[in-house]
Amino acid sequence: MKVAIYSRGLDADQHSQLFTLMSELQKHQIDTIVYKNLAERHPEVFSPYHAYDVFTATDGLTDEIDCMISLGGDGTILDSATLVKDTNIPVLGINFGRLGFLASLGKEELTNAVDALVSGTYVADKRTLIHLDANIPLFGNTPFALNEFAIHKRDVSSMIKIHTYLNGEFLNTYWADGLIVSTPTGSTGYNMSCNGPIVFPESASFVITPVAPHNLNVRPIVIPNDTIVSFEVEGRSEEFICTLDARKEIVGKDVQIAIKKESFHLNLLRLNENSFLSTLRNKLTWGLDKRN
């Protein structure tokens, strides 16, 4: 068995957990490949372990790798998605961050996580990705997102008009600060903070949610994920912001943009007891009531 380890970087007080992870992997004789920046930033943790390789990008991730372990918060999971791309390497998130909605395993569960990998007692959730097409190159070789695509006005400029089409048919013109097209995975993120609905991960749908709409009768809408959604943007500013998860591009308002379901998906691993409903209750205090 071979696993990859990715993290943006860890605090000094988290070294003991990283050392525990490396010890567990060695105990089970699991081959390890470590993100180069992580290994270089924490040599005191990795130096005792000479039997590991390093990678810097997707081309260092071969089909020999059985899993990528993501150490951090949900943002680190989003980074991991751009690294594994279409390699079909599943991702297991260990929460070294704050909320950890996607990275649902706590760092105190490292031993259980490695045991689950070895024994195969985990669940793999197929998470839909969203793909961006444009008439100019955008987002390099990673024009996809796990959570959402969004259009947003720049800085303190006036609201923009976003003409939106579903499979070429006019849906609506959104007078708003922006517009979100969310995957089911992203429905608990930016979408939810803008009063969009929470959608189950296995739902074959996208959610379109306006950001601060000028018209109060405009509400989020759920659409099938085999729909191609295209946009035309107007505004007093010549540019607007286009985002895929935490990545952004500044583009001119004459740019033609469309989004659709990505041709591949992300396999997100979890332990059996960490269901979507339990995560809603534990992370979002869903239905919290002193009477319960």
Q: Architecture of 129-263 per CATH?
A: Sandwich (2.60)
**CA proximity to 60, closest of 86, 84, 41, 24:** 84
Which range is least confidently modeled, 155-164, 169-178, 278-287? 278-287
Cα angle for residues 84, 115, 42 (degrees, 5° grid): 60
Mean pLDDT of 221-242: 95
Take residue 10 and report the two structure tokens written for it. Answer: 């860890």
Burial 51-65 (b: 16+ CB within 10 A, else e): eeebbeeeeebeeeb
Question: Would residue 155 show up in a list of annotated catalytic residues for this protein?
Answer: no
Cβ atoms of residues 168 and 230 within 8 Å: yes
Beta bridge partners of 182: 148, 207
Residue ranges, comma separated, of all CATH 3.40.50.10330 domains in the chain are 2-122+271-283
Share of the chain above pLDDT 90, in %: 55
- Tens digits of residue pLDDT in 128-137: 999 999 999 9
Mean pLDDT of 117-137: 93
Top-tier CATH class for 2-122+271-283: alpha beta
At position 208, the amino acid (one-letter code) is I
Residue ranges, comma separated, of all CATH 2.60.200.30 domains in the chain are 129-263
Catalytic residue among 63, 74, 155, 289: 74
Mean pLDDT of 39-65: 80
Q: What is the pTM of this model?
A: 0.91
d(CA 119, CA 136): 46
Question: To which residue do tokens 């003409």 refer?
Answer: 163
